[in-house]
Amino acid sequence: SDVKKIAVIAGDGIGPEVVAEAEKVLKKTEELFGHRFETEHGLFGGIAIDEKGTPLPQETLELCQRADAVLLGAVGGPKWDNNPKELRPETGLLGIRKALGLFSNIRPAVVFDCLKDASTLKPEVLDGTDLIVVRELTGGIYFGEKFRRETENGQEAVDTCAYNVSEVERIARQAFEIARTRSKKLASVDKANVLETSRLWRETVIRISADYPDVELEHVLVDNCAMQLLRRPSSFDVIVTENMFGDILSDEAAMLTGSIGMLSSASLGEGSFGLYEPVHGSAPDIAGQGISNPIATILSVALMFRLTFGYHEAADAIERAVKEVLDAGHRTGDIAVDKLKAIGTKEMGDLIVAAI
Amino acid sequence: SDVKKIAVIAGDGIGPEVVAEAEKVLKKTEELFGHRFETEHGLFGGIAIDEKGTPLPQETLELCQRADAVLLGAVGGPKWDNNPKELRPETGLLGIRKALGLFSNIRPAVVFDCLKDASTLKPEVLDGTDLIVVRELTGGIYFGEKFRRETENGQEAVDTCAYNVSEVERIARQAFEIARTRSKKLASVDKANVLETSRLWRETVIRISADYPDVELEHVLVDNCAMQLLRRPSSFDVIVTENMFGDILSDEAAMLTGSIGMLSSASLGEGSFGLYEPVHGSAPDIAGQGISNPIATILSVALMFRLTFGYHEAADAIERAVKEVLDAGHRTGDIAVDKLKAIGTKEMGDLIVAAI
Ligand SMILES: CC(C)[C@H](C(=O)O)[C@@H](O)C(=O)O
Ligand SMILES: CC(C)[C@H](C(=O)O)[C@@H](O)C(=O)O
């Protein structure tokens, strides 16, 4: 059938409010472009802990497995921060990534013209910054064996970081493919001067690069990358790295654009299935006030249209509408220079829907 | 005796040139303050690989063990980059840290007034930035078991990250002590929502904090810290973290000051022994031209005076001299606005020596 199934998991904090606006956008594109979506809602994160006693209820997982794509708001909040591990929202997040085989996290870090001043970087340094961090998402130290043991020096904690060749191959290929559609430059980030997993990573990336002779490959050590992102952000195009380094570097990259409230992300597996979510968190401090910025979530829908459904026309329309509304000067509180003129979550959503 | 033994290991690239200037400073302080130093030189890094077949020759290690402090230039260069592990300069660096028990790396990230413009951050964001990263240096994934094994999915590489309670305790205590001498704010960085070692880290830091009720402790997740360093660098004072996170965050912090060519660092163990070195690398591209900046190495001597010898007056004098020379407008090429007016390594060293 041509009806696309979207699992919607709003989550915690501002999650439900921003997702509600993204759903309006989905509706509008149905009307305008003749696409058909079936959305089904599931509990996930803190709210699922409260209502079902687990951050990732089996029925939510099945809902996602039945779907063509997942739209996620945000999860977490202080309420659950001190819970035991199995009752924490993050555990649900790691669980859903693994269960759905989402081995790749794609985070475009772009600068929105109207937000240039929001960055702490000088505008001339930021100029032209438009990069993508491709982060391995289901391997490495996140998922390796973890335990405690007693030693002569007191208790010891252990985390294991492991990568096998196929795990590196599939993420490397994906990064090379993405680089091909852009300016054909790939930076692979590792710590090959210290870590065995990084040496395997680098060898594998080099081997795969033979299939992509048109893409220029450079290897950057993670500490150096943290510096170079600050020094010359616009010189990066696609960055591929392992899970832990990707967590750190993608957040650094997002923050330096000054546009973190506007950035969307995709988590992908084999095939076209994907989970889409804003880069920002659940912002418990402003939840429920109707003042949060729905743009990152709305742009996550556009990303879903491109990467999972191939609905490029509708994706273009959404991105254009966002630009139009921003160009007209409308701002939510987080991005407003004059906070008094800030509009609310719903107004922003309505304006974008109207502009599509 | 009152003669302090300093092991001098100049290393590779610009190491020998910048260390030579620092030695002139040592001499001058002997004359002026009556301190007495005995310096002895050792081979280390790439040059040791070339001349002795190992990056850390036994006699160099013994030289350091006999000394009260070590002054290190920089190691590494493309010549040795593709060597097998045991013939790489980094292996010497990790080896010396472990052999000398240097469990703590202290990296002040300060903004030099005259270099404010060199930062890619906006001056108003940078204003007042003066922080110290205290990095655990002999534990974690750097030193855990590493190996390869065959699996169904091809070869697998494994790195082990381990921390025991005493390792965390000693670095935490040191960070609290440093925080006490400053504005009494400590940020402990971990990834406690994912890693077992981070949970042990956090528990231990919290336990130790009971002995430092005057120090305000906050816990920051590593990804968030990478962002907050960019967003509000001046709000940090002392940051304490494990080895790998410290490697990344200390480089990010150094780069955002714009003063990376000027920053010194100390690696400390139990007692007063310490290894001092500039934060910058061996810069093979400009080695031998006499144009490198010796200030970070000279300031490393000042740091050695403070932390190992307690020679605060001489340390003050060195720091004041550096400031005076910079205030008078003298610049090496790396920090010169007008490159044509840049002075050389030796001239900079001489000017500072004269100003002490
Ligand atoms: C919440 C946490 C487990 C998660 C991660 O580290 O992957 C988050 O930081 C992210 O980047 O999605
Ligand atoms: C060269 C490398 C092994 C080293 C490290 O990672 O510790 C360096 O980056 C540093 O920070 O001193």
pLDDT (tens digit per residue) in B116-145:
888 999 999 999 999 999 999 999 999 999
B282 contacts B74 by C-beta, under 8 angstroms: yes
Chain A positions in Cβ-Cβ contact with residue B246 (cut-off 8 Å): none
Give CA A344 to chain center in angstroms: 24
Q: Is the CB of B194 under 6 A from ligand 1?
A: yes
CATH fold label, A103-265: Isopropylmalate Dehydrogenase (3.40.718)
Give CA B231 to chain center in angstroms: 24
What sections of A292-344 are H helices per DSSP?
A: 295-304, 312-327
Q: Which residue of A has its CA nearest to B202?
A: A157
Beta strands in chain B (DSSP E): 3-11, 36-41, 69-74, 104-110, 130-136, 146-151, 154-164, 185-190, 216-221, 238-241, 264-268, 274-278
Of B163, B193, B250, which is closest to A156 when you measure between CB atoms? B163
Look at residue B88 in the predicted model and tell me its pLDDT: 95
B12 contacts B47 by C-beta, under 8 angstroms: yes
Q: Out of B142, B163, B212, B311, which one is annotated catalytic?
A: B142
**Candidates B93, B194, B201, partner chain A, best to mutate (most A CBs within 10 A):** B194
**What percent of chain A stands above pLDDT 70?**
100
**What percent of chain B stands above pLDDT 90?**
93
- Cα–Cα distance measured from residue A116 to residue A118, given in angstroms and rounded to the nearest whole number: 5
Contact across the interface for A193 and B88, Cβ inside 8 Å: yes
pLDDT band at A118 (very low <50, low <70, confident <90, very high): confident
Per the rule left: phi > 0, alpha: psi between -120 and 50, beta: everything else, A90 is alpha
Kindly identify the ligand whose nearest atom is closest to the C-alpha of B76. Answer: 2
What the block records as the tokens of B54 is: 């190992």
pLDDT at B1 over 60: no
Q: Is the CB of A347 under 6 A from ligand 1?
A: no
Residue A270 CA to ligand 2 centre (angstroms): 36
CA-to-CA separations, A6 to A59, A305, B47, in angstroms, rounded: 15, 11, 61
Look at residue B65 in the predicted model and tell me its pLDDT: 98
Q: How far is A215 from chain B (nearest CA, A)?
A: 22
Beta strands in chain A (DSSP E): 3-11, 36-41, 69-74, 104-110, 130-136, 146-151, 154-164, 185-190, 216-221, 238-241, 264-268, 274-278
The residue type of A324 is E
Q: Is the CB of B153 under 6 A from ligand 1?
A: no
Which pLDDT tens digit goes with each residue over A20-56?
Answer: 999 999 999 999 999 999 999 999 999 999 999 999 9
| Closest-lying ligand 2 atom to the alpha carbon of residue B97 | 7
Which pLDDT tens digit goes with each residue over B294-317?
Answer: 999 999 999 999 999 999 999 999
B163 contacts B196 by C-beta, under 8 angstroms: no
pLDDT at A229 over 90: yes
- Cα–Cα distance measured from residue A133 to residue A215, given in angstroms and rounded to the nearest whole number: 16
Residue nearest atom 2 in ligand 1 by C-alpha distance = A90
Look at residue A1 in the predicted model and tell me its pLDDT: 53
Contact across the interface for B160 and A160, Cβ inside 8 Å: yes
When pLDDT is averaged across residues A237-254 and rounded to a whole number, the result is: 98
Q: How far is A249 from chain B (nearest CA, A)?
A: 8
Overall CATH class of domain A1-102+269-356: alpha beta
The sheet that has A154-164: what strands, in order across it? A146-151, A154-164, B154-164, B146-151
**Domain positions in chain B:** 1-100+273-356
Residue nearest atom 10 in ligand 1 by C-alpha distance = A247
Look at residue A115 in the predicted model and tell me its pLDDT: 85
Within 8 A by CB and 6+ apart from A50, the residues are none
Kindly identify the ligand whose nearest atom is closest to the C-alpha of A45. Answer: 1
| pLDDT averaged over every residue in chain A | 96
Contact across the interface for B94 and A194, Cβ inside 8 Å: yes
Active site residue ranges of A = 142, 191, 223, 247, 251
Q: Which residue of A has its CA nearest to B221?
A: A248
Look at residue B30 in the predicted model and tell me its pLDDT: 96
Look at residue A110 in the predicted model and tell me its pLDDT: 94
| pLDDT averaged over every residue in chain B | 96
pLDDT at A307 over 90: yes
pLDDT band at A15 (very low <50, low <70, confident <90, very high): very high
A104 contacts A240 by C-beta, under 8 angstroms: no
Kindly identify the ligand whose nearest atom is closest to the C-alpha of B141. Answer: 2
Q: Which residue of B has its CA nearest to A151?
A: B164
The sheet that has A274-278: what strands, in order across it? A36-41, A3-11, A69-74, A274-278, A264-268, A104-110, A130-136, A238-241, A185-190, A216-221
B247 annotated among ligand-binding-site residues: yes
Chain B positions in Cβ-Cβ contact with residue A249 (cut-off 8 Å): 226
- Cα–Cα distance measured from residue A206 to residue A312, given in angstroms and rounded to the nearest whole number: 32
Q: Is the CB of B120 under 6 A from ligand 1?
A: no
- Cα–Cα distance measured from residue A15 to residue B92, given in angstroms and rounded to the nearest whole number: 49
Which pLDDT tens digit goes with each residue over A322-335?
Answer: 999 999 999 999 98
Q: How far is A163 from chain B (nearest CA, A)?
A: 6
Look at residue B89 in the predicted model and tell me its pLDDT: 96
pLDDT band at B336 (very low <50, low <70, confident <90, very high): confident
Look at residue B165 in the predicted model and tell me its pLDDT: 97
- Cα–Cα distance measured from residue B145 to residue B155, given in angstroms and rounded to the nearest whole number: 17
Which pLDDT tens digit goes with each residue over B12-63?
Answer: 999 999 999 999 999 999 999 999 999 999 999 999 999 999 999 999 999 9
B80-85: Cβ within 8 A, 24+ apart: B80/B46, B80/B49, B83/B49
Q: Is the CB of A93 under 6 A from ligand 1?
A: yes
Coil, helix or strand at residue A187: strand
Within 8 A by CB and 6+ apart from A134, the residues are A104, A105, A106, A171, A174, A175, A178, A238, A239, A240, A241, A246
Catalytic (active site) residue B223: yes
Which pLDDT tens digit goes with each residue over A155-189?
Answer: 999 999 999 999 999 999 999 999 999 999 999 99
Catalytic (active site) residue B334: no
- Determine if the pTM surpasses 0.85: yes
Contact across the interface for B231 and A255, Cβ inside 8 Å: yes
Q: Out of B251, B323, B346, B350, which one is annotated catalytic?
A: B251
Q: Which CATH architecture has domain B1-100+273-356?
A: 3-Layer(aba) Sandwich (3.40)
Q: How far is B230 from chain A (nearest CA, A)?
A: 7
Look at residue A329 in the predicted model and tell me its pLDDT: 93
- Cα–Cα distance measured from residue A202 to residue A187, given in angstroms and rounded to the nearest whole number: 11
Q: Out of B12, B68, B237, B247, which one is annotated catalytic?
A: B247
